[in-house]
Amino acid sequence: MGKPTGFLEFPRRANPARPVNERIHDWKEVYVLRREEECKTQGARCMDCGTPFCHRGEMMEGGASGCPINNLIPEWNDLMYRGRWREALDRLHSTNNFPEFTGRVCPAPCEAGCVLGINEPAVTIHDNERTIIDKGFKKGWVVPEPPEERTGKKVAVVGSGPSGLACAAQLNKAGHKVTVFERDDRIGGLLMYGIPNMKLDKAVVQRRVDILAEEGIEFQTGVEIGKDINANLLLNDYDAVVLATGATKPRDLPAPGRELKGVHFAMEYLRANTKSLLDSNLEDGNYISAKNKKVVVIGGGDTGTDCVGTALRHGCDNVIQLEIMPKPVFERDKDANPWPQWPTNLKVDYGQKEALYKQGDDPRQYLKMTKEFIGNEEGQLTGIKIVDVEWKEDVEGRRYPAEVPGSEKVLEADLVFLAMGFLGPEDILAEQLNLNRSSRSNFKAKYGKYATNHKGVFACGDSRRGQSLVVWAINEGRGCARRVDKFLMGSSVLPW
pLDDT tens for 184-218 read 999 999 999 999 999 999 999 999 999 999 999 99
- What's residue 63's pLDDT? 83
CB 139 within 8 A of CB 166: no
Given a cut of 90, whether residue 258 has pLDDT beyond it is yes
Mean pLDDT in residue range 223-243:
97
The pLDDT-based confidence of 415 (bands split at 50, 70, 90) is very high
> In whole numbers, what is the pLDDT of the chain averaged over residues?
96
- Contact indicator for 63, 332 with CB cutoff of 8 Å: no
**Banded pLDDT at 1 (limits 50, 70, 90):** low
In angstroms, rounded to a whole number, what is the distance separating the alpha carbons of residues 286 and 309? 19
Percent with pLDDT over 70 in the chain: 100
**Closest CA relative to residue 171, chosen from 202, 212, 199, 225:** 212
Comparing 166 with 496, which gets the higher pLDDT? 166
Domain boundaries, the chain: 6-139, 154-249+423-489, 263-418
Answer whether residue 4 shows pLDDT above 90: no
Mean pLDDT across 329-350: 91
Model pLDDT, residue 111: 96
| CA-to-CA separations, 66 to 106, 112, 196, 207, 473, in angstroms, rounded | 12, 7, 26, 28, 15
Side chain identity, residue 181: F
Confidence at residue 51, expressed as pLDDT on a 0 to 100 scale? 87
pLDDT score at 57: 86
CATH of domain 154-249+423-489: 3.50.50.60
**pLDDT tens track for 129-165:** 999 999 999 999 999 999 999 999 999 999 999 999 9
Output the CATH code of domain 263-418: 3.50.50.60
| β partners of residue 402 | 390
Q: What is the pLDDT of residues 430-448, one digit of tens each?
A: 999 999 999 999 999 999 9
Going by C-alpha positions, the residue among 78, 42, 73, 43 that lies closest to residue 55 is 73
pLDDT band at 496 (very low <50, low <70, confident <90, very high): confident
**CATH of segment(s) 6-139:** 1.10.1060.10
Q: What is the pLDDT of residues 84-110, one digit of tens each?
A: 999 999 999 999 999 999 999 999 999
- Residue 121: its pLDDT value, please? 95
pLDDT score recorded for residue 41 = 94
Question: Do the domains spanning 6-139 and 263-418 agree at the CATH topology level?
Answer: no
Inter-residue contact 43 to 9 (CB < 8 Å): no
Q: Report the pLDDT averaged over residues 411-437.
A: 97
pTM as predicted: 0.96
